[in-house]
Amino acid sequence: MTADLTARIREAAEARGVRIETAFPEPIVAEAGALSLAAPYIKEKGFRKPLIVADTNTVKVAGDRLLQDLAALGLEPELTLVKPDKLGDVIADEASIVQVLLDVQRVKADVIVAAGSGTLHDISRYAAYTAGIPFVSVPTAPSVDGFNSKGAPIVIRGEKITVQAIGPLAIFADLDVLRQAPPRMVAAGFGDMLGKYTSLFDWTFGRLTAGEPYSELVAAITERALADCAENAEAIGSRTEEGIRLLIRALIESGLAMLIFGQSHPASGAEHHLSHYWEMEFMRTGRRALLHGAKVGVACAEISGLYHSLAFEEAAGSAEAAEKLRLALERVPSADAIRGLLRKVGGPATIEELGVEPELLERSLAEAHRVRLNRHTLLRAYNEGKAARRS
């Protein structure tokens, strides 16, 4: 019941003779009933005034239960219900962050408990970091791989930036709670995982063509998490206990892989740059935000289609690198195969189903590499090569 999810990673490290210096959240529990372990943990750690951060949906599935459990143990829990924006979405923006900070100060909270999906985690991790108190993670949907991230993507004056924050002390991912998550959020978590197909390829590309840092261990952890998801798409789509366990484990392990590596290379390549580009465009034009993983899954299919169509001998720089890249590309399923996997889990599989126009796709394919100019993706090499041939 309290099996810690880090064991598999530690075994993989040991098998390679690698020492992991990174401090992980402790414990990380992804089991049915994990929610009931959160309150005793918070009491045992000596906290008195936990502030639960939830929204009107997640308070019902986890927040209320935490309030009751904590009060029953003699603690003085308080609740912040983060308000949605004008379009009805909870956003990790300055208004939400200040709302939580004001409550932290008012009730003199000594720990924050994030009870929600990725956005509530980003609000909580940045508010906790700013207030100088820790936070505990209670995910309510297996929707992103960022629960244990140290960085927080936040929106300030309509622009999305990623800022330094803190990772959680511990994670209690209750499968009974996660199985109740809306199907589109489960599909989004699966889409965020499928994005690893192209991010892992781009990581190999950056390593071979630009000497970007690389870790066999971190790549192997990410690959295994991805394979677990792809091989069990049907169970994940039907939200069986086993399917949801595999998905949340994969998302957390992918997050831990990034934590070990210290950068996002293993889990974020051109498909994430495309997704960021679409997100910024939607923000600029006042359109309702799409789920991160829904965008990443569709973007991954688009990037796969493009990459499989390219002859990249020139971009590779040497015949040897080109050969290695060709092998790496063989591990990326075709665009159609990726769309087939997305459909199995019930998520959007094409830009039409997602709600991205062909014009925006075309523009993003030409410009999205500028989102992160320090990253050497094949998309960037392709676009810069095109520009060089024109001039």
Task: Say which DSSP state 4 is in.
Answer: B
Name the packing angle between helices 270-284 and 358-367 (round to 10°): 120
- Residue 29, beta-bridge partner list: 4, 172
Residue 82 CB, nearest distance to Zn ion (Å)?
Answer: 21
- Residue 136, beta-bridge partner list: 113
Residue 69 CB, nearest distance to Zn ion (Å)?
Answer: 31
What's the order of all strands across the beta sheet hosting 78-81?
28-31, 171-174, 135-139, 111-116, 50-54, 78-81
Which residue's CB is nearer to Zn ion, number 31 or number 145?
145
Which residue's CB is nearer to Zn ion, number 100 or number 194?
194
Residue 389 CB, nearest distance to Zn ion (Å)?
Answer: 32
Reading phi first (left if > 0) and then psi (alpha if -120 to 50, else beta), residue 85 is in beta
Contact residues for Zn ion (CB under 5 A)? 192
Which residue's CB is nearer to Zn ion, number 25 or number 146?
146
Residue nearest to Zn ion (CB): 192
Residue 272 CB, nearest distance to Zn ion (Å)?
Answer: 6
Task: Say which DSSP state 332 is in.
Answer: S
Tokens at residue 356, please?
């991205």
Tokens at residue 30, please?
């992804």
Residue 299 CB, nearest distance to Zn ion (Å)?
Answer: 10
Residue 185 CB, nearest distance to Zn ion (Å)?
Answer: 13
Which residue's CB is nearer to Zn ion, number 69 or number 192?
192
User: Would you say 247 and 226 are in contact if contact means Cβ atoms under 8 Å apart?
Assistant: no
Residue 147 CB, nearest distance to Zn ion (Å)?
Answer: 11
Question: What's the residue count for the chain?
Answer: 391
How big, in percent rounded to 5, are the helix, strand and coil portions of the chain?
60, 10, 30
Which residue's CB is nearer to Zn ion, number 31 or number 192?
192
Which secondary-structure segment (H or E) carries 240? none
Which residue's CB is nearer to Zn ion, number 63 or number 195?
195
Which residue's CB is nearer to Zn ion, number 122 or number 192?
192
User: Would you say 77 and 42 are in contact if contact means Cβ atoms under 8 Å apart?
Assistant: no
